[in-house]
A and B are shown apart, each in its own frame.
Chain A
Amino acid sequence: MSPSPTILHPRRRLLLPAGAILAGMLILLWPAHTLRSDNFIVYMPSSHAVIQLNLVGDVKYLPLVPVLNAVGKVGAIHEKRDSFRVWFGETQIELRRDERQVRVGDSRLLLAQPVRNPGGQWLVPLEFLTRALPQLTRQPIVYQVGTNRIFVGDVGPVTFSVRLDPTANGARLTIQFSEKVDLHTAASNGKWYLYPEPRPVQPLEPEYHFENPYVSDLQFDDQDGIPKLILTPAAGALNFYPTLTDGGRVLLADVVKPPPLAPSQVPGGEQQPATTAGAMPGTTPGAPPGPEAPPGATGPPLPVIVLDAAHGGAEAGARGRDGVLEKDLVAQLVARVRVGLLATRKYRVLLTRAGDVDPTFEQREVAANVARAAVFLSFHAGNLGVTTPRVVVFSYRPSAEPGAEAGGKETALLVPWTEIYRLHQDRSQALAAALQQKFALIAGVTADKPATAPIRALRSIDAPSVAIEVGSLSPDEDSGALTDANFQGQISSAVVAGIEAFRGGVS
Chain B
Amino acid sequence: MTRRAKILTLILLGILAAGGIYLRVLARRVSVRPPDHGEEMARTRLSEEILQSAAGPSQTATLYFPNYEQGTLITETRTLTWAESDTDRIRQVLLAHIEGPRQGASSALPASAAIRAVFLTADGTAYLDLSAQTLADFKPGIASECLAVYAIVDSLAANIPAVKRVKILVEGREVDTLDGHADLSGFYVPDLRPLSRAS
Contact = CB atoms under 8 A, between A and B. Distances in A.
B186 A383 contact: no
B19 interface: no
Nearest to B25: A106
B87 interface: no
Contacts of A457: 181
A392 B183 contact: no
B195 A385 contact: no
Contacts, number: 120
Interface in A413-431: 418, 429
Contact of B196 (A383, A385, A451, A473): A451
Per CB-CB distance, the 3 closest pairs between chain A and chain B, nearest first, are A382-B141, A318-B140, A385-B69
A380 interface: yes
Interface in A360-384: 361, 380-384
A506 B199 CA distance: 26
Contact of A380 (B68, B141, B165): B141
A319 B140 contact: yes
B165 A400 contact: yes
B71 A454 contact: no
Given A380-B142, A382-B143, A400-B165, A451 B71 contact: yes
A397 interface: yes
Interface residues of B, number: 34
Contact of A449 (B139, B165, B177, B198): B198
Given A382-B143, A401-B189, 17 more contacts: A310-B181, A317-B179, A317-B180, A326-B140, A382-B144, A382-B181, A383-B139, A399-B186, A399-B189, A418-B186, A448-B71, A451-B196, A451-B197, A453-B142, A453-B182, A456-B182, A457-B181
B152 to A, nearest CB: 12
B195 A387 contact: no
A473 B140 CA distance: 8
Interface residues of A, number: 42
Contacts of A318: 140-141
Contacts of A451: 71, 143, 195-198
B174 interface: no
A459 B181 CA distance: 11
Given A449-B197, A456-B177, A384 B188 contact: no
A380 B181 contact: yes
A96 interface: no
18 contacts: A318-B140, A318-B141, A326-B140, A380-B142, A380-B181, A383-B141, A397-B196, A398-B183, A400-B165, A400-B188, A449-B199, A451-B71, A453-B196, A456-B180, A456-B182, A457-B181, A471-B141, A474-B141
A418 B185 CA distance: 9
Contact of B143 (A317, A387, A392, A456): A392
A391 to B, nearest CB: 11
B182 A454 contact: yes
A203 interface: no
Contacts of B22: none
Contacts of A311: 180
A323 B181 CA distance: 20
